[in-house]
Amino acid sequence: MMRPRSSGLQREIKQAVPFSSPGQEALVGILRTSDVVRRRLQGIVARQGITLQQYNVLRILRGAGGEGLPTLEIAERMLERTPGITRLLDRLERADLVRRTRGSEDRRQVTCRARPKGLRVLAALDAPIQGAHRSCLGDLTEPESGTLVRLLNRVRAEPG
């Protein structure tokens, strides 16, 4: 009886037993790929003394412009959902990267804006992050990248 050939992923994670299905291998592949990409990006942003989640907040606030965004809106836009958005903003504010102001009519509403120092940190990261995007997906053609985006959209879609 022929033994099934191991996949690249199976060898990479040193898994002796074959995956039970292509779906299981795909899911493990997504998780492994996410970890590899996250570690590469974390290494880049760490040079500026921030985390990936902090980078994400600064990127969101830069896109919002001078108007800023309410705290809950930032939380909804995060790539990785975090229950500790307030603590995350506390750290960014202590580092003088963001500014928070309370609304004049609704004191519960807190608006966050990127500070000049935060925008300088982002500007310093733009080229290295762009380079990481290219290196992470460098071997994929544009059509392949488009196919990957469509497939990932389907994976994230709500069932039903």
Residue 83 identity (one-letter amino acid): P
Residue 4 clears pLDDT 60, i.e. is over it = no
What is the model's pLDDT at position 102? 84
What is the pTM (predicted TM-score) of this model? 0.85
What are the sequence ranges of the domains in the chain? 39-127
What is the model's pLDDT at position 160? 60
- The answer as to CATH 1.10.10.10 being correct for domain 39-127 is yes
The closest alpha carbon to 34, from 9, 6, 7, belongs to 9
Q: How many CB atoms lie within 10 A of CB 17?
A: 8
What is the model's pLDDT at position 1? 43
Give the C-alpha separation, 10 to 13, whole Å: 6
Share of the chain above pLDDT 90, in %: 66
Tell me the pLDDT tens digit for each residue of 88-138.
Answer: 999 999 999 999 998 777 767 889 999 999 999 999 999 999 999 888 887
Tell me the pLDDT tens digit for each residue of 42-65.
Answer: 999 999 999 999 999 999 999 999
